[in-house]
Structure 1
Amino acid sequence: MPVEHLITLALLPIHDWNSALLEGASEGPITQSDSISACVFAIDPFRRIRDLLLELKQNNFHWVTNFPSAEAIDGEMRTTLDDLGFGLQKELEFVDEARALGFAVAAFATTTFSASLMLENGATALVTPDASMIDVASLPSGVPVIELEGHRSV
């Protein structure tokens, strides 16, 4: 299945993404040297993000990513998510909260605008489905941009 479909599928209410994340995190210890980012459904309407982040901290995670993300949705559905408070603003609050708790954040972004906002809120790296969607030259120098489609860093 193409990556762009998996990203959209992850947003559907057919499972509890964050519970699955915590269940997986409890299966074994994470060490300081592990380069693992916990992919958090930051717009989860049933969970307080601060509590989730504190549980991830207890499980020794050092990196988090707002994924799956409303950034993968566009058109009328995206407008509706934003209007209901489950869009970019909520994900920016996640980035801010994660940084305040000491996490490094690799923020998922699909546009130069959202990438810039994620960095302003404290993200230290960016994850995108397609690096050509972001004007990397307009970002601060040295910001890692990780592309999902080709699994490469820019």
Structure 2
Amino acid sequence: MKNRGQHGRWVKLGTWAIVGRAKHWERIDHDGTPSDGIIFAPALGVLQSGDPLVLATLPVVDWNAELVKALTELKRPVGPNCYAAVMMIDPFTLWEDLGDLLAERGFAGVVNFPPASLLEVKQVQTSTDEGNTIEIDRMKWFHDVGFGLVYAAPRMEEIRNVEQRLSGLLNAIFNVPVSSLRQPVSNKLELDLEPALNVDRQGLPPILSFNSAVCATPESVAS
């Protein structure tokens, strides 16, 4: 499956991977085939292999500071279709500086990972206005300065709401159910298009999920 990216470009949205260290982000999967996309999340590289992913959502890691540090240490521009994982509700990030760094390093876009709805423990909220306003406004800002967007969310209610609030701006959606936070951190966390979540979504951004998530179905995500 393909989806229109920033500035009208088409990008492939099949098999993706999240990587924590630059040396692991060559666009190659474990079986030697190319990944369609990479999400660069250097905060994960701070954790030990095997640690649960939930640790990355806690205050033990300064998410955006680790991203800025990694960007300044990059020796070469990134390959095509690389997205940076950004904590969009961080009040201390210098956003213009971060945007300049990402552009200089050749990133295609950004992902709000970890999503605010996980950080703020809003998994049980039922409001029709789901999605953190600060987070969504920051995503719009990144789009306005030239980046593609992948939106991460744990619940289908939030996904449906954000599709309206960011209508026409999203390249894809990253489903992050609470159950996926038990997944151990490794050099690469692989993502796939989840068939059960992409039924009847013609004209809507495709949904990516951890391919080893236990509960990545519409019923379990909404529960």
TM-score by length of 2: 0.52
Which of 100-109 and 19-28 deviates more?
19-28
Q: 1:43 to 1:138 in 2, by over 3 A?
A: farther
| 1:139 positional shift | 4.7
Q: Deviations over 1:20-48 (max 9, x none)?
A: 112222322224x4332100011112114
Q: In structure 2, what is the Cα distance between the partners aligned to 1:42 and 1:48? A: 11
Q: Deviations over 1:107-149 (max 9, x none)?
A: 10122232234334222201112588x9644655352211025
Q: Deviations over 1:7-66 (max 9, x none)?
A: x321222232112112222322224x4332100011112114344223211222112100
TM alignment of 1:22-101, pairs within 5 A: 22-26=68-72, 27-31=74-78, 33-73=79-119, 77-78=121-122, 88-101=132-145
Q: Which amino acid aligns with 1:112?
A: M
Q: Which amino acid aligns with 1:113?
A: E
Which consecutive residues of structure 1, in runs of 5 or more, have no partner in the other structure? 80-86
The answer to whether the 8 Å contact 1:66/1:94 transfers is: no
The answer to whether the 8 Å contact 2:99/2:142 transfers is: yes
> What corresponds to 2:57 in structure 1?
11
Which of 108-117 and 90-99 deviates more?
108-117
SS at match of 1:43: coil
User: Whose Rg is larger?
Assistant: 2
The answer to whether the 8 Å contact 1:88/1:114 transfers is: no
User: After the TM superposition, which parts of structure 1 deviate over 4 Å for at least 4 consecutive aligned residues?
Assistant: 134-140
Q: Does 2:146 correspond to 1:146? A: no
Write 1 or 2 for the structure with the bigger share of helix: 1
Q: In structure 1, what is the Cα distance between the partners aligned to 2:108 and 2:70? A: 16
SS at match of 2:208: strand
Identity of aligned residues (%): 23
The answer to whether the 8 Å contact 1:18/1:41 transfers is: yes
Write 1 or 2 for the structure with the bigger share of strand: 2
Q: 1:49 to 1:113 in 2, by over 3 A?
A: farther
Which consecutive residues of structure 2, in runs of 5 or more, have no partner in the other structure? 1-49, 124-130, 178-192, 214-223
Q: Does 2:176 correspond to 1:129? A: yes
CA RMSD of aligned residues (A): 3.1
Q: In structure 2, what is the Cα distance between the partners aligned to 1:23 and 1:112? A: 33
Q: Which amino acid aligns with 1:29?
A: R
